[in-house]
Amino acid sequence: MTKPHSPLNPNRNLDYLFYFLFRTSRWQDGEYRHEPLLAFGKLHDLGIPIDTDKRLFRRSAPEQTPLADWHHHFNQAWQDILQHYSQAFNPENPHLAMEQAVQYCQANLLGVALVIMDEKLAHHEVTLPLYDPQYHELGEAYFNCDSQVKLFSIRDQKETMSQPATFHSFKPSVDKRALKAENWTLRLDKTQPYLMAMQARFSEHNPVVTLVPENNPIFAVYGLAHGDAYRVLAPFTPAEREHRWPVRLQRFLLGADMKGLSLKTTALLNSILARLLIADTVFESLDCEARLLRLTLQQKTAHYFATSDQTIQQTPHSVLEQQLREMENLVTTTDYALGRISQAIKTLEINQDNFQWRLHNLHPDESEWQMDWQSSKPYPSLLEPLHLGLENLKNHLAYIEGKLTHLKGSCTRWRSYITQNRHQLTEHLGHVGTIIVFLIVLGEFFGRSKAEEIGFWADILQRIAFVLNHHLTYLVILVLYILFVLRHYSKEWFKSLKYKFHKK
């Protein structure tokens, strides 16, 4: 959908654009951090608001530029956005605020969508290098058009188009099988964009699943196959081209000339791409967290379930208490994660319903274009990834809830053994203490009794009283008490040594 040039140019119909979606507020350090309204007010002229807490920017590559150069134009688009943010931070000396702008944009970027527009899409491929969190290169990701699945198609009501324009998703693939299970996030801290494996971990002090780093923007590629727009526009003057379907379709989809900075809120692709980026970002982050939690729960519950009663009895009391604390911490972590996932599922279901409503109510007064949302399936093709993502999260939820039940059962089992050990120790110490008190009282009683009241037992009782009230007797009782306590703790000590030996 470009101005006609030489018909020999293989890229005569090619255009591609970048959509950057940012959040305008985020939860950080126990409070919501919003953009400074006075400083960032002018950004409303450069991007469009999405919901109440996001902003969408669009930048385009020069017309008919080879797709092989997309990295270069992507970097230019990113630098241009950074310039606008640095200007917002420091209008007088924007170059002094560039580092602040970089940090802010990297922390608030939700996702980037590359949209390719050409006569056909099958021959286009987008590649990005893959890295692990230690910055070791792992391979490459390839984005290829899924030409069999149309997200939607559009044609003019007058049917001047030879065939409908179709919108497709580019499916990512990796060159190594082991990398398929990873979740990938876009990184912009090098000279070229790249994808890094998301890394989830448990905090040592607060065992809640966290992502490192916190913000994990996603990268997606879409394409519009619109036929040979060059051939349609070639015979006409610039003024006449304004009324031909390629230019009109461009205005309908994009809302403005691609060279312009302004964006039209009602432009079709603005709303669609923003919703897709938001959903993909949430799905990827939660999927990464849920998979780590599932793996951790599976390992822990399998270990505790396989532990026999004899092994528990031979385990030191302190170790049992430590294991119980670990299980209770994991229960807390799991409850927290389940709450987040359940809340996200409910929110995404509402957003999915709203998205579906928007699809059927976009431009209700527009009679120039005929939209086909591919609604023959239970869900329109645009909503199919959202539906699959929700089903995946629900599967995670059901699995985690099952493992949480197993984990709570292990907690009850461990707690019963710990309580039993404590009860036995308390009971034995109580018996010894009762005997000591009884002997002391008996000795005191015999010591105060008068011989004439006791009769012929006087001599015997006086001897008993002498023995019971003698300090050596108390010393012997104290030694016996200490020996009993030492016996108990020595058993625990030997049990601990045996446990450590078997652990090695």
- Tell me the C-alpha to C-alpha distance, in Å, between residue 422 and each of 47, 200, 408, 432, 484: 66, 38, 21, 16, 15
Cα(216)–Cα(282) distance, rounded to whole angstroms? 9
pLDDT value of position 157? 85
How does pLDDT run across 223-247, given as a tens digit for each residue? 999 988 888 888 888 888 888 888 8
User: Cis peptide leading into 4, omega within 30 of 0?
Assistant: no
Query: Residue 285 and residue 340: Cα distance in Å, rounded?
Result: 12
The stretches in the chain having pLDDT less than 70 are 1-8, 28-31, 36-39, 41-45, 201-214, 256-266, 362-367, 421-474, 477, 480-481, 483-504
- Determine contact, residues 374/152, Cβ cutoff 8 Å: yes
Q: Give the model's pLDDT for residue 182.
A: 87
Predicted local distance difference test score (pLDDT) of residue 439? 62
List the structure tokens of 371.
């939209």
Q: Report the C-alpha gap between 189 and 116 in whole angstroms.
A: 24
Q: Which residues fall within 8 angstroms of residue 161, CB to CB, at 6 or more apart?
A: 155, 227, 245
pLDDT for res 56: 92
Half-sphere exposure of 230 (CA within 13 A, CB side): 18
Provide the residue ranges of all domains of the chain, joining segments of one domain with +.
421-503
Q: What is the pLDDT of residue 260?
A: 43
Query: Looking up tokens 């081209």, which residue turns up?
Result: 241
Check residue 258 and give its pLDDT.
Answer: 45
* 500: amino acid identity, one letter: K
Partners of 48 in the β-ladder: 56
What is residue 261's predicted lDDT score, i.e. its pLDDT? 41
Contact between 272 and 288 under an 8 Å Cβ cutoff? The reply is no
For residues 407 and 323, give the distance between their C-alpha atoms in angstroms, rounded to a whole number. 12
Please state, in angstroms and rounded to a whole number, the distance separating the CA atoms of residues 399 and 297: 10
pLDDT at residue 424, as a whole number:
62
**With helix as H, strand as E and coil as C, how does 167-196 read?**
EEEEEEEECCHHHCCCCEEEECCCCCCEEE
Structure tokens belonging to residue 250: 């461009």
pLDDT at 449: 53
Residue 17 identity (one-letter amino acid): L
How far, in Å, CA of 120 to CA of 229, rounded? 11
pTM: 0.81
Query: Tell me, what's the pLDDT at 443?
Result: 59
